[in-house]
Chain A
Amino acid sequence: MGKNSSQIQSFFRTEKAKKITNRRRNPISRYYKKNLFSLSSISRYYPVESNRPQFIRAPKEFSLTLNTEGMIRFFMTVDKKIRTGRPVYLDMANITVLHEDAILYLISRLDYYELININASIQGNLPNYEPCRILLLQSGFLKYVQTNITQNAENDNIFPIHEGSSADGPIVSEVINFVKRFINFKDYAERFYGPIMECIINTGAHAYSKNASYSKWWMIAIPNNNNKTIHFTVLDNGYGIPNTVRKNYAEIIMRQFGKLNYLSTGIDNKLIVSGLIGEFRTRSGLDHRGKGLPSIFELTTIPYIDNLRVISSHGYVLTGSNLTILESVNLRNKFHGTLISWDFIKIEDISDG
């Protein structure tokens, strides 16, 4: 008995035991203090149970392109935990694939939590895997959080995250000029401005027009594949295309049914496709409206464009070239807002069109 007692006491005196005790008092010490970011400052120590952070591990594939359902589930978990009022800690250390679409969505959600004055604070760390960590830093993500990280993150070969709340022609012009540094579009150069503008016009037009202060968009462009493709992504925080396009009664009922049974029987993907191909979908009921989505879809007729993808509410649509739909899926869980992305691709010796 006595022996056992002494063993227990000595156990708590070891260095290891001290570390374990400290971990319990200060959970963040395990999670790379030097890489911390936070949305609002909180105490480092959590003596009260209600202040103890809830750790949420980010998916290894932190990408809406590759892991759409997983990412939406992750953010649903964040939403749920954050509403408890306790601090939330986003553990991003194990991320091995990071795409800019997910960075924009993270920023959009953090922005939303700030807007609704959520009581809980949010903290997180950076990925351990260096390419992912560098992308996160160079994307401009740190502008949106508080951090002591001083690492120089500028990279002229990235068009970092820009944001706005209305249609901003000069920024669209800026991103096109950035892409033109890598790709000579010849006669197609002026064809991109309109569709990109339409992506962000929709923020104000469809989204929170009654609450303009909350209509926001974020965009980013990053070269890949030895600068042979430039991946362009724009996200808005609106109600989403399926919620804003005009629907008939049958469609309204089918949507509700799809939401209730979680069996992916909804029609949001079909509503997005319908909007893209220019069926009469404008909620205003004015037949001259609704030019935006078709003009975005029209991009697929340009040889420099590939992988046009739209994610909005419960819908996911991937298009191919020349107005074809490659994939159209109804998502189990809701994506907040609308994400549109595509690749600008470098083509040698293309004839002018």
Chain B
Amino acid sequence: MDKKMVDISIAKDFSLTPGPRYEWQGDFSGQLFRDSFLVKYFTDPNDETIININIDGVEGYPPSFLEETFGGLVRKFGRDRVNKKINIVATKLKYFKEQALKFIQDAKEFSEK
């Protein structure tokens, strides 16, 4: 059976100006993005949806936004599931793709529920 795929563009679907780590720090936070766009594909352990996240087209990324988005997923759902389900797409902003992958690699698994 083919795995279901979804495409999310941060620039088109979320914001051209990604914000801080937490919602209380300002608009368009990493926490908001993760919880609104990504968490729903992780809550069911049998959900095998692949999420293609296009990170191009924005003004740039605060590292805390990327860490909370991707590292935050690892802290909640574990690295294996994140690696299986998340596909970061960047043709221009490769620097930030590398950053995001490093945050996935460095985050402490299951440290948040």
Contacts and interface: CB of A to CB of B under 8 A. Distances in A.
A183 to B, nearest CB: 16
B20 A190 contact: no
A169 B21 contact: no
Contact of B60 (A190, A201, A288): A190
Contacts of A194: 60-63, 65
A291 B25 CA distance: 15
Interface stretch (B11-19, B33-41, B42-50): B11-19
Interface residues of B, number: 32
Nearest to B24: A204
Interface string B79-113: 00000000000001101100000010011100000
Given A166-B26, A191-B95, A173 B16 contact: yes
Nearest to A177: B59
A79 interface: no
Contacts of A168: 26-27
A183 B15 CA distance: 25
B52 interface: no
Given A190-B93, A288-B108, A295-B62, A201 B25 contact: yes
Nearest to B95: A191
Given A169-B28, A170-B17, A201 B62 contact: yes
Given A204-B25, A205-B25, A288-B67, A193 B108 contact: no
Interface in A102-133: none
14 contacts: A167-B62, A168-B26, A169-B59, A172-B17, A176-B60, A190-B96, A193-B17, A193-B61, A193-B62, A197-B65, A288-B75, A291-B64, A291-B67, A292-B64
Interface of A: 166-170, 172-173, 176, 190-195, 197-198, 201, 204-205, 287-289, 291-292, 294-295
